């Protein structure tokens, strides 16, 4: 995407553009490589970039478009949300080491969720007046680190510091190649102010070409063995977590499951719409119920398919693990076994499996049909039970989260994108379209959801993101930063307000059911009381806020909130008072 006024350089196809400094060369290259947005939380290291963006604006250059974000976690989470729905790499820049530390939680989330981000930060100047861009503020001494990248190195695939002008094209291309090659993930690039400020008159580079990135494919022998195990299984089970990262894989999983009546259970770490909720082979969101009875378990892109403290496969059960990195090698310890590991992108593996199973299908039709009938009945009974539970709780005060989740399921439509950070009861929200549900990353870097919803809105302006979070998570989102951004990117925020950090309280009760805290009902460091009027915070940013205590008012309140986003083009927040556990 070279400049309109770029000058052809030679037969190699390179172009030359006029610039003032290295920062402008860097921005030029990002735009050419397809980067649409530059999420930034700026500091003094940004001076050459700010001036470069001003030149781009004056010359009518559209990309990359700078997006000012008031807090680093919001910036990284927005980039995460955008990449999550588009599959495109995103660029975030923060202020030297202090900004890096503020954004680190977001990088942990992106790392474990395999989200391709170019996470960049300035590096405080090291010269003291000898060259342009050197130290001229008090902070420039105290902010220097011996190894700035050390704080992120465990969670990025690659880190580097731009050393000079000659490297710009090679460094940016390497960052993109590594971030986008499977398993995808964030990389870290530090940009010294002196290098960015270095004066240059022109920049010659090779324009972007159509590109493919590295990804593994299934080994034929592994597919053959897996197909034989599926062919012979009496009680198979598929467990998924992140398959839906590629929407095309969802439909392929449905075809495979139908071909041999393979039930699908969604793991606790549920990051995407992995399987249509209304599909008769969908067996809910708790695999632990089915793990002990299965004679074959097919784990697809799931880091924790079951909790060994709650359920284990019986002796002799065969395990197939399919994924880009089926053993999750970036985790220091993970011991889920695999009789047949298949290192592949799931879509390719599923297609290959279905083809390998095709010759066996006719001879197994009686078993397949009987299993399909049994599983379809169980699917139907399961849904009836879920609905009955919600109906039983519909008049409870304070509001039960089961009923609140059921109401969200009632109001969602084709424009809705649900983003959940823990409190939504996903079984009450029947989502069937790939890309219409996203859950929080497994590392539990709390505060991700609100920023991610803003990124979704930026990528899909016509959508209505409904972001679901507890009051504890809302604090972690840096609310004023998110509400500031939502002035131009309206979303619906629903606070499941149970007045506590229930995960902490639940952990105490799990480890010490008869302990001092349980006996005395004394759960320090858990309760979030007195309860603020969270609905008033959004009003400070021109949004619609409402406190909901009547369970009969949830659906009308949700519709008012959706109307505010759709019709009035402003954000909305519902503070729903739920049961205190």
Q: Residue 8: what pLDDT?
A: 57
Kindly report the pTM of this predicted structure: 0.96
Question: How much is the mean pLDDT over the chain?
Answer: 96
Residue 459, CA distances (Å) to 64, 86, 489 in order: 14, 7, 10
How far is residue 73's CA from residue 107's CA, in Å, rounded to a whole number? Answer: 9
Question: What DSSP assignment string belongs to 486-545?
Answer: HTTS--EEEEEE-SB-HHHHHHHHHH-TTSHHHHHT--TTTB--SPP-HHHHHHTTT-EE
Tens digit of pLDDT for each residue in 518-563?
Answer: 999 999 999 999 999 999 999 999 999 999 999 999 999 999 999 9
Tens digit of pLDDT for each residue in 219-246?
Answer: 999 999 999 999 999 999 999 999 999 9
Work out the average pLDDT over 318-343: 97
Work out the average pLDDT over 264-269: 95
Q: Which CATH class is domain 393-577?
A: alpha beta
Residue 363, Cβ density class (10 Å: 0-12 exposed, 13-18 middle, ≥19 buried): exposed
- Please provide the CATH number assigned to the domain covering 220-383: 3.40.50.1220
Centre a 10 Å sphere on the Cβ of residue 520 and count the other Cβ atoms it contains.
8
Tens digit of pLDDT for each residue in 116-159?
Answer: 999 999 999 888 888 888 888 888 898 899 999 999 999 999 99
- Domain ranges across the chain: 7-205, 220-383, 393-577
DSSP 66: E
Tens digit of pLDDT for each residue in 373-421?
Answer: 999 999 999 999 999 999 999 999 999 999 999 999 999 999 999 999 9
Q: Which CATH class is domain 7-205?
A: alpha beta
How far is residue 478's CA from residue 167's CA, in Å, rounded to a whole number? Answer: 36
How far is residue 456's CA from residue 438's CA, in Å, rounded to a whole number? Answer: 10
Q: Residue 2: what pLDDT?
A: 46
- Does the structure show a pLDDT above 50 at 367? yes
- Model confidence band, residue 10 (pLDDT cutoffs 50, 70, 90): low
Instruction: Please indicate whether the domains covering 220-383 and 393-577 agree at the CATH topology level.
Output: yes
Tens digit of pLDDT for each residue in 13-52?
Answer: 899 999 999 999 999 999 999 999 999 999 999 999 999 9
């Amino acid at each position: 995407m070279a400049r309109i006024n770029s000058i052809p350089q030679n037969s190699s196809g390179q172009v030359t553009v006029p610039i003032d400094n290295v920062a402008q060369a860097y921005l030029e290259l990002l735009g050419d490589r397809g980067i649409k947005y530059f999420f930034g939380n700026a500091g003094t290291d940004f001076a050459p970039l700010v001036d470069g963006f001003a030149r781009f604006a004056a010359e009518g250059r559209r990309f990359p478009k700078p997006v000012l974000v008031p807090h680093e976690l919001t910036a990284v989470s927005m980039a995460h949300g955008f990449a999550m729905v588009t599959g495109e790499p995103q660029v975030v820049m923060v202020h030297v080491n202090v900004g890096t530390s503020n954004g680190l939680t977001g990088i942990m989330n992106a790392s474990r969720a395999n989200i391709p981000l170019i996470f960049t930060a300035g590096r405080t100047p090291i010269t003291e007046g000898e060259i342009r861009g050197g130290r001229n503020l008090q902070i420039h001494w105290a902010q220097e680190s011996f190894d700035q990248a050390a704080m992120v190195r465990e969670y990025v695939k690659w880190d580097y510091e731009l050393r000079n002008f000659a490297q710009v094209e090679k460094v940016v291309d390497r960052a993109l190649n590594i971030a986008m090659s499977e398993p995808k993930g964030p990389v870290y690039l530090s940009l010294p102010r002196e290098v960015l400020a270095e004066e240059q008159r022109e920049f010659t580079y090779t324009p972007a070409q159509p590109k493919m990135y590295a990804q593994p494919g299934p080994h034929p022998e592994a597919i053959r063995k897996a197909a034989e195990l599926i062919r012979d299984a009496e009680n198979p089970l598929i467990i998924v977590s992140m398959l839906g990262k590629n929407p095309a894989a969802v439909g392929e999983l449905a075809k495979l499951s139908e071909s041999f009546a393979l039930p699908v259970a969604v793991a606790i770490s549920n990051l995407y719409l992995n399987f249509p909720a209304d599909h008769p082979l969908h067996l809910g969101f708790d695999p632990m119920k089915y793990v002990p009875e299965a004679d074959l378990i097919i784990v697809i892109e799931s880091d924790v398919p079951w909790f060994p403290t709650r359920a284990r496969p019986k002796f002799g059960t065969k395990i197939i693990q399919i994924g880009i990195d089926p053993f999750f090698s970036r985790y220091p310890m993970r011991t889920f076994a695999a009789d047949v590991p298949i290192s592949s992108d799931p879509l390719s593996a599923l297609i290959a499996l279905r083809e390998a199973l095709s010759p066996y299908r006719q001879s197994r039709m009686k078993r397949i049909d009987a299993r399909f009938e049994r599983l379809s009945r169980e699917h139907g009974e399961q849904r009836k039970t879920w609905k009955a539970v919600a109906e039983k709780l519909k008049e409870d005060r304070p509001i039960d989260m089961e009923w609140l989740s059921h109401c969200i399921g009632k109001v969602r439509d084709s424009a809705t994108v649900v983003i959940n950070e823990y409190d939504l009861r996903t079984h009450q929200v029947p989502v069937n379209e790939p890309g219409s549900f996203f859950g929080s990353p497994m590392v539990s870097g709390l505060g991700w959801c609100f920023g991610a919803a803003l990124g979704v809105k930026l990528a899909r302006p016509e959508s209505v993101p409904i972001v679901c979070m507890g009051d504890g998570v809302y604090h972690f989102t840096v609310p004023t930063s998110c509400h500031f951004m939502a002035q131009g990117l309206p979303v619906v925020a629903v606070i499941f307000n149970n007045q506590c950090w229930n995960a902490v309280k639940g952990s105490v009760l799990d480890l010490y059911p008869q302990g001092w805290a349980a006996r005395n009902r004394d759960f320090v460091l858990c309760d979030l009381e007195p309860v603020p009027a969270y609905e008033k915070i959004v009003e400070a940013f021109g949004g619609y806020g409402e406190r909901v205590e009547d369970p009969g008012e949830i659906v009308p309140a949700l519709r008012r909130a959706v109307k505010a986003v759709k019709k009035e083009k402003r954000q909305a927040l519902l503070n729903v008072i739920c049961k205190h556990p």
